[in-house]
Amino acid sequence: MGAISKLAARPWIWSYLGLLVVWLATVTFTGGKGGAEILSAALSFGTFTVIVGLGQMFVITTGPGNVDLSIPATIALSGSLAMKVMGGADAMLLVGLVVSLLCGVAVGGFNYALIRLLRIPPIIATLSSSFLVLSTAIAYGRGLKIKPPPMLADFTTARVFDIPVLALVVAGLAVAMSVLLNRTIYGRSVLAIGQNMRAAWLAGIPVERIRFLTYLLSAVLASLCGFVLAGFSGGASLNMGEEYLLASIAVVVIGGTSVAGGRANVPGIWGAALFMFLLVTMLNTFGASAGVRLIMTGLIIVAVITIAGGDKPQR
């Protein structure tokens, strides 16, 4: 088979095609101006969606019904906690990072405890835990507006050759996650559980330990996102995670990961995150009103998922 049909068989190709089309449309409209700037901005903002999308991807891949809705709350809690601990001092940078990640470990563990011990479906468990987490963030960070340490702010906004450094780091993270998914026992186990949990158990996979690690991973990545996002946007706020609830799920699905579980796709997450940002930019450039913008975003996402075709029968 030729290179083209081989490429077309890869589910992530559609998100990249989509982003190319949208970018070309935008650049054509502006008469060639600002093309590079738009891409650079997309890399900056898309980065945060990628971080949480990676975690969400692992969760969704463990099978139907598995989804982490506590991501926005975790971002808010981790961001405000870290800002408060660091108090704007560079010296406390590492301590802040550790606190932020520990916060993710706690949320992930709590989510899993609800799912496993109380037998609550993941969608309800993570949604209800997100209320608790957000309340903690409110109680703890009331009225606080602390600037991030200068080093963190510099790092998250730094660029080399107009490419955000953070985007490069997260690209590395994505590569690491891809290796984790495809080349480790943990990744194989996630894929197996997503296809058939009972068969996975009978094949000797420690199903519950893997699910625990997966919710933990998702929450830790959400915390990491909260940490860098607070640095990037000059401080934490309680609603800073809001848009990442749907975004984290949308990039997973558009990126070619199967919602039914068992099949995941890392490159697609990057493509989808950039595509989503460029889509909104394009509609803004066209001067669409807020209502039209939302409708178009919805329609285009549906169209991309339809074209990408979801689960084709394999041979």
Q: Which is nearer to another protein, 24 or 176 (CB)?
A: 176
DSSP string, 127-166: HHHHHHHHHHHHHHHTT--PPPPHHHHHHHH-EETTEEHH
In the complex, least distance from residue 221 CB atom to another protein, rounded to whole angstroms? 21
* DSSP reduced 3-state for 109: helix
What are the φ and ψ backbone dihedral angles of 313, each rounded to 5 degrees?
Answer: -65, 135
Distance CA 94, CA 100 (A): 10
CB of 259 to another protein, least distance (A): 13
200 vs 308 by CB, closer to another protein: 200
Q: Which CB, 147 or 263, lies closer to another protein?
A: 263
Give the Cα separation of 207 and 196 in Å (integer).
Answer: 11
Token code pair at residue 227: 């940490």
What is the C-alpha separation between 69 and 121, in angstroms, rounded? Answer: 12
Spatial separation of the C-alpha atoms in residues 20 and 175, rounded to whole Å = 22
Alpha helices in the chain (DSSP H): 3-8, 13-29, 35-61, 71-86, 93-117, 122-141, 150-157, 165-183, 185-195, 197-202, 207-232, 244-254, 266-285, 290-308
Q: Which is nearer to another protein, 145 or 183 (CB)?
A: 183
CB 205 to another protein: min, Å: 8
Q: Which is nearer to another protein, 199 or 292 (CB)?
A: 199
For another protein, the closer CB: 119 or 315: 315
CB of 22 to another protein, least distance (A): 30
Q: What is the CA radius of gyration of the chain?
A: 20
From the CB of 139, what's the least distance to another protein, in Å?
40
Which residues pair with residue 164 across a beta bridge?
A: 159
Query: Would you put residue 10 in left (φ > 0), alpha (ψ -120 to 50) or beta?
Result: beta
Q: Whose Cβ is closer to another protein: residue 193's or residue 236's? A: 193
Which residue, 6 or 145, is less far from another protein as judged by CB?
Answer: 6
For the CB of residue 263, give the shortest distance to another protein in the complex, in Å. 6
Residue 267 to residue 219: CA distance in whole angstroms: 21
Minimum Å distance from CB 97 to another protein?
24
Contact positions vs another protein (CB under 8 A): 179, 183-185, 188, 191-192, 195-196, 198-200, 202-206, 258, 262-263, 314-315
Q: Shortest Cβ distance from residue 112 to another protein (Å)? A: 19
